Structure 1
Amino acid sequence: MSAVDDSPPSPDSQESEPNSKLTKAQLARIERNRQRALLLRQTRLQSRPYPEGKPDKHKVKAPPREIDSGGGFFIEEDDEALQNVHKNIVHPEGPVLAVDNLVCDGCGKEFIESFLLQYFDVTVCDVCRQDEDKYGLITKTDAKKRFLLKDCDFDKREPPLKFIIRKNPHNPRWGDMKLYLETQVSARAMEVWGDEETLEEQHEKRGQNREKSKQKKFDKRVKELRMAVRSSLWRKDSGSHEHEFGEETYDEDEDMYSKTCTSCGHVMTYEKM
């Protein structure tokens, strides 16, 4: 009969027993994870070493600072790293852009923008725009009467005239007004009529036609009034009429006597017994 060995197992035998239960693939994965952890630790120590020996255990470290990345999320960054990043960033100088200012047609001075340039494409500054006689605005109704233009001359003829819309100052409930630049309307009138003399002739011609039309309406009205007066003066006499007969006449062939009224011409015939 063999003797039983009661001595405790050695540490090597205790470590080999659990490892013997793992497969080779599991052992290899454990070794890779261990090597990766060691490499990560060495990398952190190299990138952020302590300045003087070990860190102070009692020193409280400030919480990381959140930085807006601009992509919809925040990045945590400590103040020291943020300062280093800001020191290393170099902003390149932007290009110098040359701006060509416009020259006013009225005074010859340079300007950048103005009311007439924005709404009517006219290179005139706001100072010269105050001259209402030269750069005034005119309503569409007045422009049609003054320059004898039609709606198609404003909207259909190329290029269409520019305008701005304003509320009616006489009554806000009325329709909005269209205001045109008077110089542009005058230029369009010269395109339609050719010159100012032709425009004046058209004004005179239309004025004469208006006078003739007014005279015809006046004559017609006078005629109607005369007819009304004549009809009111004429009255039909509906009372009794007394005949005034003249001399008596005798007709031998008929053996009849007759008398004629001197006022109405009535003839009364009779015979004598």
Structure 2
Amino acid sequence: MSSSGPSLPPSQARLAALNRLKAKEKFAGAGKTTTGAVNAVAGSSRNGAAQKQQGQGGQSTQYVNKQSAQPASARNMVEQQKQQEEPLKRNPGLGKYFEYDLSKLHNSRGGFLTEDDADDGRIKSVIEMAREKERQRQMIMEGEEPAIFADTSPRCRECRSLEIDNQFQKVFSINVCKSCKEKFPEKYSLLTKTECKEDYLLTDPELRDEDLLPHLLRPNPYASTYSNMMLFMREQVEKVAWDKWGGEEGLDKEWERREKFKKRKREEKFEQGLRDLRKRTRNNQYQRRQEAQHVHEFEAVEEATDEDGGTRSIQRCFGCGAEQEVEVW
């Protein structure tokens, strides 16, 4: 017996049919998850009953719980895991933005550096990279290899060795190896600017002229804030000093003349100090004598009686009490 009811329009009937099919698919998917759990429980119960029957037949039976550790509602557990794995929904109120995982970003230095700057999985800083570049440049400058052909390569001027000091060659234009540089300190030792001024009597403009005297700059060992040291090669300094003073004898004569001049200046300064001291001493003595000189200030004339019974007129000083006899007219 069929029940009669109002008929639906074709569009609504189609929508109702689609909703009915979606509901069936949803219940069918949920039924699969619950069916697995029910089958596991049923299987464990059947295994328990069979073990009980075997025990009743005379065989030793151990009752073991063989149910799998699953939650009562496997469907809810799966849905919860899916919800945890899904990313957070985008908030449309924040506008357009891009999400970046900063832990996976790599600094490519703007794409201009092609070499890999990672050292043991750590990104080098800009300061470390600059220091490394400076060390490499210094190593290239100091460790230059000789030319391919031994005949055309520069040799040491003392021992004819190929292992010359490149720093001396570039700064002082002298081909000498490091062993000969230490072996002949009277030629290749380095002098500071102060030593050149005091020992060889060279002026500051002469020492700053790189065409006349090339120099090597080194950091000041006393403090990093001081200006760099200027180091000169002894042989070149002696050559300029000999040309200026006419040889070693002329330099010695000039040094003796300057020492005598300094000595005379010191003596003159000492004598001038003595004269100033004597002058100050004389002034002090004269002032003390002036202060020690006393001028009498007498009182009015008084009549005094002497031992003979006579009278005489005297005046007495206010300060020292000195008396003098006066005649009154």
Name the TM-score, length of structure 1 as normaliser: 0.49
Of structures 1 and 2, the one scoring higher in RCO (CA 8 A, sep 6+) is 1
Name the TM-score, length of structure 2 as normaliser: 0.41
